């Protein structure tokens, strides 16, 4: 069975960039956020969202991620309710994906809330991606057209870099692409021999 390597970091830290670098090295990478988007449309998720949040989080009969995000970020109770709906479905999706990729020596499981969700407990090693706060904010503004206040709310709802790095095996400081790529290659060489 493949070793499971958790890849995490705060919003805008560059997790997706690092994940792509591992993919380029031939490592299977599971992106939990993509799975989260996919499972929202499953009948089980739709029914639970309607029960818990009502029709206000839907647009044209489909879960509206922006409406859901606006409702839950900055509200720990509602975020917890959403997580209780989505996390079991993502966990099931990951387990199916893992079976399909079991021949790989190791896989990467990328998720922003690795520690917050308890997913770190299923990982053999953990990589945290960090970046300066202002870099993170400007990346998210240009990527999502979000405003600074909304981004800071999301950052406040996640663990700090200090909390993540204290529980991680490897730290990637994502300040420039060349340096980040070298860090990824170095970690890849170590993980190949686990």
Residue positions forming the annotated binding site for ATP: 12-17
User: CA 67, CA 169: separation in Å to the nearest integer?
Assistant: 36
Closest of 80, 64, 79, 114 to residue 94, by C-alpha: 114
CB 163 within 8 A of CB 115: yes
Cβ(75)–Cβ(82) under 8 Å? no
Residues in binding site: 12-17
Phi and psi of 8, rounded to 5°? -140, 175
Token digits of residue 131: 């970046």
The torsion angle over the Cα atoms of residues 18, 113, 78 and 83, rounded to 10 degrees, is: 100
């Amino acid at each position: 069975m493949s070793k499971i390597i958790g890849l995490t970091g705060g919003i805008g830290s560059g997790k997706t960039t690092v994940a792509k670098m591992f993919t380029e090295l031939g490592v299977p990478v599971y992106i939990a956020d993509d799975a989260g988007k996919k499972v929202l449309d499953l009948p089980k998720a739709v029914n639970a969202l309607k029960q818990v949040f009502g029709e206000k989080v839907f647009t044209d009969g489909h879960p509206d991620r922006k409406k859901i995000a606006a409702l839950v970020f900055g509200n720990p109770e509602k975020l917890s309710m959403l997580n209780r709906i989505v996390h079991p479905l993502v966990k099931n999706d990951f387990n199916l994906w893992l079976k399909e990729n079991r021949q790989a020596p190791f896989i990467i499981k990328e998720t922003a809330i690795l520690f917050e969700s308890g997913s770190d407990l299923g990982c053999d090693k953990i990589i945290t991606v960090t970046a300066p706060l202002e870099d993170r904010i400007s990346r998210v503004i240009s990527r999502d057209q979000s405003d600074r206040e909304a981004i800071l709310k999301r950052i406040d709802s996640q663990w700090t870099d200090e909390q993540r790095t204290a529980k991680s095996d490897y730290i990637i400081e994502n300040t420039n692409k060349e340096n980040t790529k070298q860090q990824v290659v170095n970690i890849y060489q170590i993980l190949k021999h686990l």
